[in-house]
Chains A and B, each alone.
Chain A
Amino acid sequence: MHPAPSVILFSTLSGMGFGLLAWLGIAQPAVFGTTAFGYYFLAYALAVGGLLASTFHLGNAKNAIKAFSQWKTSWLSREAWISVLALIVMGLYASGEIFLNTSYVLLGYLGAALSLTTVFTTSMIYAQLKTVPRWNHPTTTLLFLLYAVSGGALLSGHATLAAVLLLLTGAVQLFSWGMADGRFAARGSTIETATGLGFMGKVRQFEPPHTGTNYLLHEMVYVVGRKHARTLRVLAIVAGSIVPALLIATWRTSLVVLALAAVVHLLGLLAQRWLFFAEAEHVVGLYYDKR
């Protein structure tokens, strides 16, 4: 799948933002006044910034408001609803903490639940697709949630907890790469099942249907750049988990180190998300004898 920068930015930034909101919602940390303003500003900048970035990959953004209409069947529509609800509920909760020095505990828990549900709905947009076997698995959802929760823990300054969560996320990531690599083959779609010609023999492409490129090849048969996969996997684990975990575990109170750890983590997360798309093979590639 084509690793579009807008989609990568959307899912990484908003994931971190909603992760931070979830921690703030359960009063971890409990913050008030201007401190609270600082935290919420960061969380909203990430969450809303990410959502805005996602509109850049729409071909016809003027109809984006209609995305609220199909929540009965569409995960993308559900994401639209839940994200807006999460932002509203957490906005009310944040106003209490910032202006009234009061935590409305129940509101906070509701907001935290909605924030994580937003990440869940985002993950389901990918995990639901049978056409992309690498994504079509519960580990996709698990990882989206883990990245959000560990990134949020990092941003909210939970040194020990964040270090543990970051390492856990890295371990699950390694495990899920191992599982995902064979999934396309295991699902059994081949050029023979795609064409139905397997009963006659071994099928190969003789001529493509068009000499130039097209939307399908550009969007779904993204094969360039996979050769960097190994390096990027190492980067995703080292920068995404190990380095930030070590940084905050060692200098647990320094704000500068915390900021540095967050930036390094984001770098690793971007590598992870780029791979998430670039390594994902869509079954339509079979019609082009490519994967």
Chain B
Amino acid sequence: MTELPQSTERSLGLVIDLDTCVGCHACVISCKGWNTENYGVPLSDIDAYGGDPHGTFLNRVHAYEVQPRDGGPAQTVHFPKSCLHCEDAPCVTVCPTGASYKRVEDGIVLVNEDACMGCGLCAWACPYGARELDQLAGVMKKCTLCVDRIYNENLPEEDRIPSCVRTCPAGARHFGDLSDPESDVSKLVAERGGMDLMPEQGTRPVNKYLPPRPRDREDTIDILAPFLDPVIEEPTGFLGWLDKALGAVSGANTDKKGAS
């Protein structure tokens, strides 16, 4: 089963817009919620209410700062990352038990938890950190592309998309068939120059990332700016004395509170 299919009938996946993502982590939470209540064992948390909480997530949002080489202002980029459902998925072929597989009908990469022995080799083989071994259940967890939503006829039509896509308030996540050049996601990728992550690893990811658009640059500040008064002025004279005195009193009050 861990032989990869020669080709898949469709290539379902996500297109993530790095220009629009605001880094709110809503997709992280909705993913955790949906996948804890549905497919497979729950995504566990360790020491959830203690000093060192950590747990299993299928989707995480990084944040990077990019410093342009010409010295312009740095730009923050929020960067959601989940399984890219690679065409040449190295995580699948290394699996000794046959638990990991890529589906012929839609290209989704899944783990059959009933067969997984928790060796972790697939997580080692994935360049993207898309697989996490659940620390309580001891089986491998990864993004299922919400396979239990997208074909689920018990859900209203508009909910038959991945939970993270449905939740994203900025519309930064798109779902569709990337093997069909006429699909909305394929058009988006063509239009915006969708890219692969770490192409040198040869995994041929299905998921694509849309690069941030160039920011507007304000090269000169308003010519009148130097003539504007500063908004905040340090008070002088009596007001200055009052300010200091009140500061000292409130400081003393805080100290007393601290002592009691």
Contacts and interface: CB of A to CB of B under 8 A. Distances in A.
Given A195-B62, A287-B81, 7 more contacts: A59-B134, A67-B96, A67-B117, A129-B94, A201-B75, A213-B54, A214-B56
B135 A287 contact: no
Given A189-B201, A205-B62, A212-B53, A63 B116 contact: yes
A63 B97 contact: yes
Nearest to A213: B54
B129 to A, nearest CB: 4
A74 B129 contact: no
B14 to A, nearest CB: 15
Interface stretch (A36-44, A75-83, A226-234): A75-83
B63 interface: yes
A131 B69 contact: no
Interface stretch (B163-171, B175-183, B192-200, B223-231): B192-200
Contact of B61 (A1, A189, A209): A209
Nearest to B46: A212
B128 A284 contact: yes
Interface string B85-122: 00000101111111100000000000000111111110
Nearest to A191: B64
7 contacts: A69-B97, A69-B98, A74-B95, A193-B197, A194-B197, A195-B62, A200-B211
Interface in A5-20: none
Given A73-B93, A74-B96, A210 B117 contact: no
Interface in B38-72: 52-57, 60-69
A132 B201 CA distance: 11
Nearest to B4: A73
Contacts of B134: 59
B172 interface: no
B211 to A, nearest CB: 7
A193 B76 CA distance: 17
B212 interface: yes
Interface string B184-222: 000000000001111111100000010110000000000
A59 B138 contact: yes
Residue in A191, A197, A288 whose Cβ sees the most chain B Cβ within 10 Å: A197
Interface in A154-203: 187-189, 191, 193-197, 199-203
Contacts of B150: none
B90 A214 contact: no
A64 B117 contact: yes
Contact of B118 (A58, A131, A283): A58
Residue in B28, B55, B200 whose Cβ sees the most chain A Cβ within 10 Å: B200
B125 interface: yes
B69 A202 contact: yes
A195 B133 contact: no
A58 B211 contact: no
Contacts of B121: 74, 76, 125
A59 B139 contact: yes
A130 B201 contact: yes
Interface stretch (A22-30, A143-151, A215-223): A215-223
A157 B11 CA distance: 59
Given A67-B97, A195-B79, A201-B68, A214 B139 contact: no
A63 B117 contact: yes
B132 interface: yes
A113 B90 CA distance: 29
Given A128-B94, A205-B62, A214-B57, A59 B132 contact: no
Contacts of B66: 197, 200-203
A215 B132 contact: yes
Nearest to B72: A201
A206 B76 contact: yes
Given A70-B96, A201-B68, A205-B62, A132 B133 contact: no
Contacts of A206: 63-65, 76
Contact of B124 (A62, A66, A73, A220): A220
Interface in A118-157: 125, 128-132
B137 A203 contact: no
Contact of B211 (A59, A197, A207): A197
A208 interface: yes
A215 B64 contact: no
B8 interface: no
Contact of B120 (A75, A219, A283): A219
A61 interface: yes
A268 B196 CA distance: 43
A63 B112 CA distance: 12
Interface string A51-71: 000000111111110111110
